[in-house]
A and B are shown apart, each in its own frame.
Chain A
Amino acid sequence: MRKLIVAATAALTITMLGGTSYAQDTLKIGYIDPLSGGGASIGEGGLKTFQYLADEINAKGGILGHKVEIVPLDNKVNPQESLVQAQKAIDAGIHYITQGNGSSVAAALEDFVTKHNTRNPGKEVLYFNYAAVDPALTNDKCSFWHFRWDAGSDIKMEALTNYMKGVPSIKKVYLINQDYSFGQSVRADARKMLAAKRPDVQIVGDELHPLLKITDFSPYIAKIKASGADSVVTGNWGQDIALLLKAAADAGLKVNWYTYYAGGAGGPTAIKQTGLDHQVFQITEGIPNGGYQPAMDFEKAFRAKVNMSLWYPRAVNEMRMFKAAAEKAKSIDPVKVAQALEGMKFEVLDGGEGFMRKDDHQFFQPIYISSFGTLKSNEPFDEEKTGWGWHPVAKIDTQQTIVPTTCKMKRP
């Protein structure tokens, strides 16, 4: 009985997991992100973005004549599941994987890819990271096989503090972050960099709260209020930012919010609800209403086709740069592409030059500070049909965003 069942299962497993065959001339990129469960809306958004970009490349003849295909793989934001999916991708002959949601997933994948490439020379796999911002990925844990197009959280803080340097009205800053590695690095970087650049600024509070567990932020708001802060810096995302802002609006707290992810899915809706007009700021590598014409044209075309705003300008940079690197290397061999990417300079979507630092495979690019609220006449793009949108406040040049790295890269 058991033998029968095991055999039947095995047979089914084969047909389901290994049965797909791919044409030899396509260049497949495994997209490993949540496509079911709580994170699905984010993952679907990313998938549509990458598929749009693949179509864009294919319309221009693909990469070195290879048609680009995005293979969606659902990881449910679970590191173990991600490794299973990565294995699946490798079995299907995929040599490039891209992922963004969850630093825990990123760390697991980076480690997995590195081990896989060491144990299977000749079958190397490259990992393109478009959104996981844990600095460790390009520092202690850095790997030759990992490239990151999003700015690490330390880079964003470098940019933010360089902006704050020129805003004398900021006097008392309150830090509130989620209690996990990302939130902690935001907090630590903020303390360190503010102390260096604006020693006169007082840090009146430094809060870590558990990740995605708080249903009522009013106690925290009471503390912020009691501290007399004029600005709050937070790396919160998801419901933690939405609930935080909601509680602040309820209690009538008037401060400026400097955030990493207020623009994430659902964020704009929440801000509009609270009525905090141009009090919430975000640090990103590009914004829809930036005023740079090619980027605005892209945004318009993208919205028309995909019916969502471009969350990931970095994904555009990633895919276009991948094509450029392959063409530079005249090969789609992962090792050669990786070597071509190292140190490569590239004109980013929102204008200005970025480069892929050879030391740690971190991409550096101009960073924007923008605020969310009512739009001016020359700002056509709103978010989530709220009628409000992002308004550019400041642009931090690439050179102003560079942070040192501790990476000791092992090259093959």
Chain B
Amino acid sequence: MTIAAQGLTWGIPLLRLLAALLLLLAFAMLAQRRLLTLIHLLAWQGVVLAAGTALVALLTGQAELWFSATLTLALKAILIPMVLHRLLRRLQVRGDVEAVLNIPVTLLAGIALVIFAFSLAAPISALTGTVTRGMVGIALAAVLLAFLMMITRHKAISQVVGFLAIDNGLFFAATSATLGMPMVVELGVALDALIGFVILGIFFFQMRETFDSMDLRHLERIREE
């Protein structure tokens, strides 16, 4: 996959900027207490992702990536956050996200994770060309940060947000680091994400129906004693 020379001069820095934005948003989500803001941040991550995909499409001239970018924008930046938003209102979930750890500690752990991700990706980056250098590391860091967020949150919705954030990180890796996966795979992944989301929706209502609450602690009954 080749990238036009003029693209290299402005395209790659821009892509890097987007990557940094993604990481920043991931951190922001880790630090965020309010559910509503969390969803907004997720939407913004979707926007960044779509922009990144579009940029790669522009740079490499792959038509299907445009399609992918549109899909991302529609799905991740608009549809899913919107649905989540509405869910939040319909289910009348309010209040703060209760974190398991306090935020500063979580952030410190997050920084450690990022360092770890970079050091892990360093040998890989060294092998690749200049184009996608560091992208794997950023994607990995975003994934790990989202993972950490899932671990530190109690509410079902915040876990879903974390889950979707992991997905975003993966997507970024797929588009920016590898400059696009095979179309079949991308379609499959998107389909799965959609179905998964639908199922989640069904799920939330079942949960609501059964527990009158979205707190994960209701889901800690099955245990070994």
Do chains A and B interact in one complex? Answer: no
